[in-house]
Structure 1
């Protein structure tokens, strides 16, 4: 009879052995801080278009679903651009595509100010704001993961917080600027400001990963067949589907909260404040989820975060008072903070580090497809039904699919960890 297996880890993470020097240095943390700042600036397109939605709708006299198209196109641009930049970053480093993306995004904001129609505005948003801003989102997260080993979960969680910090910083600023100067002049100002700040900051990222990191990239840090018994393509595909599903659910409050508050009579300014509260609590929760990712791994954290998000989303159904909406938005922000970082950690657990730029960017960028689909879908359901209640129910259903995928992958992972332990 074989030995009785000991305690089983829920994750195949491979911590750095004590005799192996850590790749983390003070520069790693400086690089993380700069990456968060760049992401906060470069992800403005995810939020400025949300805040401008009611004004743009009135300016072009368009239905709600059509008014959401600039956001949808921009998110699609973020998704495609993130995948492309991830490939480029693996080959050339993060700096060249980041600098090029910054210039493209800044130019796009200026061009949208002169858009004669909603369709032109939407196309420019996708081709310039989305594609250009993409370099400051998923590829930056992948780059940060290459500079950490002992605190990788926390570093990834903080790196992904940049896009949420953008949601804290930008909506109130954009809301006040639009009220004072109109959305067109506001877009010109955003473009010039991002160009003047992001290019100098990006120079801090000039250094490439140290030789020790490069050696580990060549060695690899994961094997999906050994970890969960699935091929790399199937694993990546399931994670992509899970990411789309969770973000269809996530999009309804994030994309339509400002418009929802306007419909309830609270005004767009209150909606922008609620969005900032939501994302502020999301940033705060990254510290907890970063610690949790280091403790239990990516898949368990994803399942927990997804379950919390579904619960928070359901709270929007019975509560629509002004104070209660602030509270529910804060709860929703706390719940969602661990979801996106989980995908990056799962990829680093299951795939070789040399593929990090492409695979992490793909996993995170595909979640934006869910945001784009969810933003449009919620607007379309609103146009069909005249309220957001059905859109919330739709979001919860998509969230349940995400939970099912995460639970199934986690079950397979635990089964294969048991098998590997007993075989050994």
Structure 2
């Protein structure tokens, strides 16, 4: 009986590995097909995501790391600034869950573009409003908008890049986002020391535009590529 149980256990392990291998093969085929439709190599797509992740978090770090000091400079007190940041981070959790729900319906790429665009809008609002009530509202909006941005990179990697390499590739992009958070806060501090002004929210906005340009290009490129291929085929056939 013991031998029979051992054989059954081994058979279950073998079946599990066969199923896992089949799942990997299907996932590999799906990601390869999606990548072919995208028209980018795995290395090039990885590079675009790394740069986009770094840029978005350069922008994202500015309010998170300097809003407390900004409130102090405006005369509202650092304690109030800490409360505003707490609201921002709390609503970031809500934004993260909500972005996931929306991404299931429209896709990770469009959701990433929408989140990045809304983050840019919130950063732009900081340039025009600095009353206490407006800071509360803008911080809440910023938290909602930025909460779901970074997770979308992992979803895009899983959709387009080989699943056997997902761990390393996701880690690389997330490392870029962490470096962006660190460098963004540091750069903002240097700019403040040089200008004695927190109008440097514009600095974060410029990085956000870099991120928007890259993600927008990723979404538009496949359509432009297919259109060019269709025109080429029509020209080869002598059709207008």
Q: Unaligned regions of 5+ residues in structure 2, if any? A: 1-15, 234-240
Distance in 1 (CA, whole Å) between partners of 2:194 and 2:186 is 12
Deviation, structure 1 residue 288 = 2.1
In structure 1, what is the equivalent of residue 127 of structure 2? 317
Distance in 1 (CA, whole Å) between partners of 2:123 and 2:89 is 14
What is the 5 A alignment of 1:259-338?
A: 259-338=69-148
Q: Does the Cα contact within 8 Å between 1:313 and 1:396 map onto a contact in 2? A: yes
In structure 2, what is the equivalent of residue 186 of structure 1? none
Distance in 1 (CA, whole Å) between partners of 2:100 and 2:226 is 23
TM-score computed with the length of structure 1 as normaliser: 0.47
Q: 1:139-180: CA deviations, max 9, x gaps?
A: xxxxxxxxxxxxxxxxxxxxxxxxxxxxxxxxxxxxxxxxxx
In structure 1, what is the equivalent of residue 193 of structure 2? 383
**Which SS does the other structure have where 1:387 is aligned?**
coil
- The 3 A distance-change label for structure 1 pair 409 and 357 is same
Deviation, structure 1 residue 338 = 2.3
Deviation, structure 1 residue 413 = 3.1
Distance in 2 (CA, whole Å) between partners of 1:420 and 1:309 is 35
Deviation, structure 1 residue 420 = 10
Number of positions where the alignment pairs a residue of Structure 1 with one of Structure 2 = 212
What is the 5 A alignment of 1:322-401?
A: 322-389=132-199, 391-401=200-210
If each structure's helix is expressed as a fraction of its own residues, which one has the higher value? 2
Is 1:407 the counterpart of 2:216 in the alignment? yes
Is 1:233 the counterpart of 2:43 in the alignment? yes
Q: RMSD across aligned C-alpha pairs, in angstroms?
A: 2.3
**Which SS does the other structure have where 1:222 is aligned?**
helix
Distance in 2 (CA, whole Å) between partners of 1:374 and 1:301 is 23
- The 3 A distance-change label for structure 1 pair 285 and 418 is farther
In structure 2, what is the equivalent of residue 216 of structure 1? 23
- The 3 A distance-change label for structure 1 pair 388 and 370 is same
**Which SS does the other structure have where 2:31 is aligned?**
coil
Q: Unaligned regions of 5+ residues in structure 1, if any? A: 1-209
Distance in 1 (CA, whole Å) between partners of 2:188 and 2:21 is 44
Larger radius of gyration: 2
Q: Does the Cα contact within 8 Å between 2:97 and 2:148 map onto a contact in 1? A: no
What is the 5 A alignment of 1:135-154?
A: none
Is 1:251 the counterpart of 2:61 in the alignment? yes
Q: Does the Cα contact within 8 Å between 2:35 and 2:161 map onto a contact in 1? A: no
**Which SS does the other structure have where 1:329 is aligned?**
helix
In structure 2, what is the equivalent of residue 89 of structure 1? none
- The 3 A distance-change label for structure 1 pair 298 and 417 is farther
Distance in 1 (CA, whole Å) between partners of 2:134 and 2:63 is 14
Deviation, structure 1 residue 225 = 4.3
Q: 1:92-123: CA deviations, max 9, x gaps?
A: xxxxxxxxxxxxxxxxxxxxxxxxxxxxxxxx
Distance in 2 (CA, whole Å) between partners of 1:387 and 1:213 is 56
Identify which of structures 1 and 2 has the higher relative contact order when contacts are C-alpha pairs closer than 8 Å and 6+ apart.
2
